[in-house]
Structure 1
Amino acid sequence: MVVRRAPTSYRRLRDEDDVELKETTNSIPLHLLFNSAVFPNLQANQYSVLPATEDFLNGAAWNASGLIDVATNTSESIVKAAEQFRTNLMKHSNYKNMSTADCFHAYSNQYISEIGDALLIQEAVIWRSPDTWRPQWANHSGNYTWVRHSTSFPRPLNYDDELPFTSSPSVYPSNGWRCPSRSLTNCTASSAVEVPSPDVWAPYGSPVKYCLVEEVPERCELQLSFNIVTSVIICNIIKATCMWLTLWRHRKPGLVTLGDAIASFLDDPDPETEGRCLHSKELFQAEWQWERHHNREEITIDPEAFAPQRQRWGKASSKRRWFATYMLYIIAIIVASVFIKRSLQGMPSSFKGLWATGLGTLNGNNLLSMSTSLVGGVILANVPQAVLSYLYLCFNALYTCMLVAHEWARFFYERRTLRVTSPSSQQRSSYWLQLPYTYAVPLTVASGLLHWLASQSLFMVQITVVNDDGEPDPGLSISTCGYSPVAIILTTIVGSFIVLGGIGTALRRYPAGMPLASSCSAAISAACHPPSEDIDAAVLPVQWGVVDGGGKGEVGHCTFTSMRVTEPVPGKLYA
């Protein structure tokens, strides 16, 4: 039998891997901008902290008797600064009294917006010079033992070495003054070594009796970027216009589902694929490759012997698609592993402590060490969203190929009506494209969870720093991106489950029988050459198998048909 090669319309199989790339390319501006069109601008206050005795509130001079090994000029500077602090305190009436525990917790965050300066009232203020004293770390009772060292001895830690203490939101930790050890760099006020209980908190030598805390009006804002919103609207208009033009130019019913394709070829069998009823997608690819190599216009097609094989589901998709999808995933995992390692630096080592850092929470030690513009921060924070969207499309395409082949294989052992987009007679309507709800719903939920976790993993940060005068200081404002180690780890785990699910699904096997067609239109067409008397097969329940009188001589014929069929015999020839 001499048959011309399949027309170019069947060659679309070779371009199927580009569909999700084009879709993602069209949506990249939306993925990079849409999530941050509306964003918060947080407030962070600079503030000062002064420990003092209760008589200081009654007009007495600041008691400097607790300053140990402090130079005279330094002591005089502290007393002068304390007097200025009291002047500011008396000038403003917006101070409130706080208990020791409430005061301790009120300053537990890096960025403070509701309160400002704090006056700590203690029985006595003991403040040792950091040049000659250091804490003894061996004492785990919470009451540090201070030991004297040589003036030439290098400071082992970054100490709080000034009074009053000035807290700056741009320096982490800004609340290191809460630690009795006065270690600004390694302060962990939640540790029982530093503070056994907030009720007996003693940051400057003796327990705090209560605090006077300045109340500051908040200026946190929810901002809308006009440029970003405009860009998103323009992109949506362009995308909607392209969709409308596509629908307008192609008004005829399209081949959307597998049932649409089978129905189309049953109504109008294509002579180009006649005599190839056992041709699979893989065999058509081999033919096309041979034709290109030999530059032949026609080839001889011989009948094939039926040899049933139980193919794995993964065989339904091309090797190129599998490679591209999982190579991108491997790259994403490597990048995520690097980010996880770096994000854990300076974070609690215990699981409980790490979990306490939260998802998408701004702690001060989880900021990128670079400043960004508004648009730059938005794009940087949303790059993972674009990557995840492309990965989702890749895995969606893999599942689509496997489930199309699964729907195809069911016609071998079960007579079924066709699932089409515009049903007539006994045809079934379609509420989904190729992914049944049992697959589509979990995949969509996992994708939504993945995108939400990604938004908590890397997020834009805009902070307005308010100085001691209550005015925003543009020079100290923070514009960068924050990150959450917990969210990055969870994003990686959820993404890995999706990937492992793809591998597990690919290892399943189709029942032995029909050649594997997947989404190859040529292979679908080859299986749709019913007997001439079967004129309404497309709208009736159909099954694939051997039809009586369909072949020539000893050669049988397999096809979709509404007529009676039998199973093909292994080893027998069919065309």
Structure 2
Amino acid sequence: MLNTFFNVTFPRRSGDQRNNDEADPSVEREIGKPLRKGKIPLTTWRVGAIIGAASTFLVLVINFTLLLVVSARDGPTLFRGDCNSVKKWSTAIHLLINIFATLLLGATNYSMQILMAPTRDEIDRAHSKGNWLDIGINSLRNMYWVGTGSLWRIILFLVLSLSSLPLHLLYNSTVYFTLQDNTYSAWAMSPTYEADYLKHSVDPSLETARMQPLECLQAYTDNFISKYSDIAVILNENATALRGPVQVYYPSDPTVIGNSIFHFLWICENWHPALLAPGFIYLYQSECDKARIMKDCIVTQILERCEVRFQRALMVAVILINLAKFLAIMTTVWLYGNRGILVTVGDACASFLENPDQNTLGRCLDAKLDFKGYPPVPPIFVSPNSYKPPEFKRRPKRWIQVVEWSRGVVVALILTVCLAIAGSEIQRILRDLADESINYLDIGFGQVDSRAVFNCSLGNYTAVILLANIPQLTLSIPYFLYNGIFTDMAVSWEFDGLPEERKYLRVSEPTGNQRKSFFLQLPYRFSIPLMVTSSLLHWLCSQSAFLVSISRWDGQSKEIYHVDGLGYSPIGLIATVSVFGAIPVGILFVGVLFGNRGIVPAVGSNSMAISAMCHPPPGDTHAATEAVMWGEVDVKFLEIVSPEITEHLVPPAILTNDMRHISAPLSTTRSEAIGHCCLTSFPVTTPIEGRLYQ
């Protein structure tokens, strides 16, 4: 009689429309199986991958064009001008660079996730050996199982992942700001000699300007003098008469950036410009002569020559990396665009609904943690007479509780190490500045300041670049982990609504009324804020530790020498660390604020847990393409659509096609019978607290 039950043909529910899907051969194709050879439809994840390839190609074209433009010029200069304008351009360019880097990072992560997405055959092989795979996230766990089928997937995955390391070490240093610093002489004289000075000591092709004492001191106590060269200090007429102009400061040639004392030797309290005694100057390198008070000064004005420069060798390396990423992404689409990979959790659900997995029978209430160390043979097959199904019990969870614990541990470890190192370094910097009576707020955000330069005498351009960009590399690693954390939350959020609202599955290759998904498992409401925050963080980092490039000029038109060093911005460092630490705090806040009702098991990305909830009742042969809900299969509905079932009523748990040989005690009372929960297009009810389900 049991065979009679399983041969029942269920009529379609009224109001359901299949839009002539029966005539569409794509609907009949088993989900998760390869398409016809050579057919690569431009839908869903393939569109996303091609968009990623297009963005990668766009960045490649921009980088290559920039290289050609600079190569056609004599020298590395992109443009030159006044320092304020050039600095703004440099900041804007670095913001664009970090946006481009984030686009490359996003496209890389997308393609890596595609490469690690398993096929149904790979999942079945893993399940048969008691192993589970990740669905919908970028997972190293899948590498062994997908790699045995295709070595190219591993090669492409390694190309995409390893190429990100040098990219973040080099990209921000391809374009850099070069600051002008002029040498100058300072003279002190009485008003009597002013005319002679202007006639014999000032180049007639240069303009001069008269300044008040405070203006004069402010102009010449800057860290780097770019607007002016020589200065003549006109003393008060009441001061002791001088027999002629006295040179109080000679042009210096320091070999180390940061030794700002040379600029201020002629100014009283030169070590602490903020404490300048108004109008006093050094005379004869002696103590401040208070009898010689500044009346005003005459400064020589020159053209500013700050530059944005371009490092060709680094850009060539970046272009090669960029090209490798583009080719890897396009190869991914070309080689695997016609394979039925399960990219999203919806893909996996559709595949398991169409072809249920016998390895997970009788585990409809099990969450992902219940499948840790899961045996290859389901316990219901091992001992069907003694096997006791689990009781249903609501298990409300905060979103943070559904996150894979190993991912959370790695994030916590990285954050702890990074914040500890950064915090101690910032504390040391602030302490050193305080010891020199320097207020860190006076050192601007992203500004080159001679008081904030590390390792200035390295003399090794490559070493400076690596030191400046190691933080960029460190910031890239958490991006992939945060992506996985938000994916766990998004999956939990999506499944939590299934007991109340009937939905079509969101799949990467829709058929019938299934929903399209041009993103992978992470919705835009999560992925876009994550990418924006990542771009902001990398830009803040680029303004916190950076290459310091100083061009020393003779005050007129000749560049004497060029020196590079590692600069830092205390404000930028604090801002970067603050945002870096705020991201996990924000994730924790969201994870604690939002939660699930605990009706649907927390399956996460675990392929076995997903499979266990996808054992529909007999007759529900089109559940994969119908709107589905999760819950207990409604026996009353089965009685209505087929009276034959009522006569041979068995627990819903054994109504699946894969379990027809399993015996179980019959019961006519719903509260006593062993129930079955699943994703199905048939009507469902909310599971009963304390009832057994399998």
TM bucket normalised to smaller: 0.7 to 0.9
Matched, 1:12 2:12: no
Contact 1:42 1:464 in 2 (8 A): yes
Q: How does 1:180-191 map to 2 (within 5 A)?
A: 182-185=268-271, 187-189=272-274, 191=275
Whole-Å separation in 2 of the counterparts to 1:118 and 1:255: 73
Task: Check 1:571–1:460 CA distance in 2 against 1; reply closer, same or farther (3 A cut).
Answer: same
CA distance in structure 2 between the partners assigned to 1:126 and 1:273 by the alignment: 99
Q: What stretches of structure 1 of length at least 5 have no aligned partner?
A: 60-84, 128-160
Match of 2:588 in 1: 503
Matched, 1:176 2:261: no
Query: Aligned partners of 2:323 and 2:187: how far apart in 1?
Result: 58
- Tell me the matched-pair count: 497
User: Counterpart of 1:96 in 2: which secondary structure?
Assistant: strand
Q: Secondary structure at the match of 1:559?
A: strand
Rounded Cα–Cα distance in structure 1 between residues aligned with 2:333 and 2:228: 58
Question: Per-residue deviation at 1:484?
Answer: 0.4
Amino acid aligned to 1:16? S
Instruction: Say if 1:572 and 1:29 are closer, same or farther in 2 by CA, change over 3 A.
Output: same
Corresponding residue for residue 483 of structure 2: 396
Which residue is 2:652 aligned to?
A: 550
- The DSSP-based 3-state class of the residue aligned with 1:116 is strand
**Deviation (angstroms), 1:332:** 0.8
In 1, distance between residues paired with 2:265 and 2:460? 32
Query: Given the alignment, which residue of 496, 501, 523 partners 2:609?
Result: 523
Counting only pairs closer than 5 Å after superposition, residues 155-554 of structure 1 correspond to structure 2 as 163-166=248-251, 170=257, 171-177=259-265, 179=267, 182-185=268-271, 187-189=272-274, 191=275, 194-195=276-277, 201-203=279-281, 205=290, 206-251=292-337, 252-287=339-374, 299-300=382-383, 302=387, 303-347=389-433, 353-370=439-456, 371-467=458-554, 471-474=558-561, 477-507=562-592, 508-547=594-633, 548=635, 550-552=652-654, 553=666, 554=673
Q: Normalising by structure 2, what TM-score?
A: 0.65
Cα offset for 1:281?
0.8
Structure 1 residue 116: Cα displacement: 1.1
Counterparts of 1:350 and 1:467, CA distance in 2: 30
Q: Hey, what's the Cα distance between the residues in 1 that align with 2:502 and 2:398?
A: 23
Does 2:184 correspond to 1:47?
A: yes
CA distance in 2 between partners of 1:562 and 1:355 (Å): 63
5+ residue gaps, structure 2: 1-123, 144-156, 241-245, 283-289, 636-650, 655-665, 667-672
**3-state SS of paired residue (1:16):** coil
Scaled by the length of structure 1, the TM-score of the pair is: 0.78
Residue 210 of structure 2 is matched in structure 1 by 98
1:29 is aligned, of 140, 155, 166, to 166
Say whether 1:107 aligns with 2:107.
no
Is the CA contact (8 Å cut-off) linking 1:418 and 1:538 kept in structure 2?
yes
Amino acid of the structure 1 residue aligned with 2:279: W
1:53 and 1:124 in contact (8 A); partners too: yes
Distance 1:18 1:264 in 2: 21
8 Å CA contact retained: 2:130, 2:373: no
Q: Deviations over 1:519-573 (max 9, x none)?
A: 0011111111112211221222111111136324332211100100112222222
- Contact conserved, 2:675 with 2:693, CA < 8 A, in 1? yes
Structure-2 change in CA distance of 1:4 and 1:573 (3 Å): farther
CA distance in 2, matches of 1:544, 1:7: 25
Q: CA deviation at 1:231?
A: 0.6
User: More displaced, 346-355 or 90-99?
Assistant: 346-355
> Which residue in 1 is equivalent to 2:691?
572
Go from structure 1 to structure 2 and tell me whether the alpha carbon gap of 1:90 and 1:571 turns closer, same or farther (over 3 Å shift).
closer
Q: Secondary structure in 1 aligned to 2:186?
A: strand
Question: % of aligned pairs identical?
Answer: 30
Cα distance change of structure 1 residues 167 and 102 upon mapping to structure 2, 3 Å threshold = farther
Is residue 173–residue 364 contact of structure 1 (8 Å, CA) maintained in 2? no
- CA distance, structure 1, for counterparts of residue 314 and residue 510 of structure 2: 43
* Native 8 Å contact 1:4 1:272 kept in 2: no
Deviation, 1:24, is 4.8
Distance between the aligned counterparts of 2:514 and 2:586, measured in 1?
32
State the match for 1:561 in structure 2. Answer: 680
Query: Per-residue deviation at 1:163?
Result: 2.4
Q: Is the 8 A contact 1:310 1:510 kept in 2?
A: yes
Question: How far off its partner does 1:350 sit?
Answer: 13
The Cα offsets for residues 427-458 of structure 1, whole Å up to 9 and x where unpaired, read as: 22225333334433333332222111111110
Cα distance change, pair 242–348 in 1 and its aligned pair in 2 (3 A) = same
1:316, distance to aligned residue in structure 2 (A): 2.2
Whole-Å Cα distance in 1 between the matches of residues 530 and 142 of structure 2?
A: 19
Distance (Å, rounded) in 2 between the aligned partners of 1:105 and 1:322 = 52
Q: What's the CA shift for 1:464?
A: 1.6
Q: Does structure 1 conserve the Cα–Cα contact (< 8 Å) formed by 2:228 and 2:302? A: yes
The 2-side partners of 1:526 and 1:108 are apart by 73
Give CA deviations for 1:161-215 in whole Å, capped at 9, x if unaligned: 9823545564224443474xx2333x223x4xx35xxxx6343544433322223
Q: Conserved in 1, the CA contact under 8 Å of 2:221 and 2:273? A: no
Shift of the alpha carbon at 1:18? Answer: 6.4
Closer/same/farther in 2, CA of residues 480 and 88 from structure 1, 3 Å limit: farther
SS in 1 for 2:273: coil
Which residue identity is paired with 1:490? A
Letter in 2 for 1:201: G
Cα 1:351–1:414 shift into 2, 3 Å:
farther
Q: Is the Cα contact below 8 Å between 2:239 and 2:293 reproduced in 1?
A: no
Structure with more of its chain in helix, by fraction: 2
CA distance in 2, matches of 1:381, 1:284: 45
1:444 counterpart SS class: helix
Judged with a 3 Å threshold, the aligned counterparts in structure 2 of structure 1 residues 111 and 321 are, in CA distance, closer, same or farther, namely same
Q: Which string of whole-angstrom CA distances, capped at 9 and with x for unpartnered residues, describes residues 387-433 of structure 1? A: 11111221221111122122122212322221222323222222533
Code of the residue aligned with 2:358 in structure 1: it is P
1:92-133 Cα distance to aligned partner (Å, 9 max, x none)? 542402221443332242112232111111126979xxxxxx
Report the residue type matching 1:113 in the other structure: S
CA distance in 2, matches of 1:281, 1:351: 58
Distance 1:216 1:569, change over 3 A: same
> Aligned-pair RMSD on alpha carbons?
3.4
From the superposition, tell whether residues 350 and 42 of structure 1 become closer, same or farther in structure 2 (CA, over 3 Å).
closer
1-side partners of 2:629 and 2:310: how far apart?
58
User: The residue matched to 1:223 in structure 2 has which SS?
Assistant: strand
SS of 2:453's partner is: coil
Partners in 2 of 1:502 and 1:570 — Cα distance?
Answer: 32
CA distance in 2, matches of 1:239, 1:4: 31
1:424·1:539 contact (CA, 8 Å) conserved in 2? Answer: yes
**Aligned pair in 2 of structure 1 residues 473, 352: CA closer, same or farther (>3 Å)?**
closer
The answer to whether the 8 A contact 1:10-1:521 is kept is no
Whole-angstrom CA distance in 1 between matches of 2:596 and 2:237: 81
2:31 equivalent in structure 1: none
What displacement does 1:330 show?
Answer: 0.7
